[in-house]
Structure 1
């Protein structure tokens, strides 16, 4: 089962900069159990539209079955870990 965390962000987004270290720490600690895909909404508007992203940061956790969880705004590590586990990471 492939688990992906899509991080929708923009360079001008302050809360996105708050989210980054949380994601980096999680990615390091979980060591390859899920993939992080960063999506710059200014450069990849088509992807942002496809996922109906309206606010930043938006984090979407997907597995082979589709979207498992969607978070809008800065999300704490514990909430992300719970969602990753339920996605099968």
Structure 2
């Protein structure tokens, strides 16, 4: 069984400042913030994708949010000129 609240408590204990939800729609972010032990120290939540926003725009916004929060994405990898689609199972 998934122990979601325990996982959130572990992240809080690690002093996590950013939560990045990977998926087609942010569905766990709100639950994670509700389960955070101390709302005063709750992290910033970033969604990688949203159904209502074009994928490229939302991913760009997520990378920008991470950058503003002090993370340094590999921008060269993010904007490769020869990107290819990959078939997934």
Larger radius of gyration: 2
TM-score (norm 2): 0.31
TM-score (norm 1): 0.31
Structure with the higher fraction of residues in strand conformation? 1
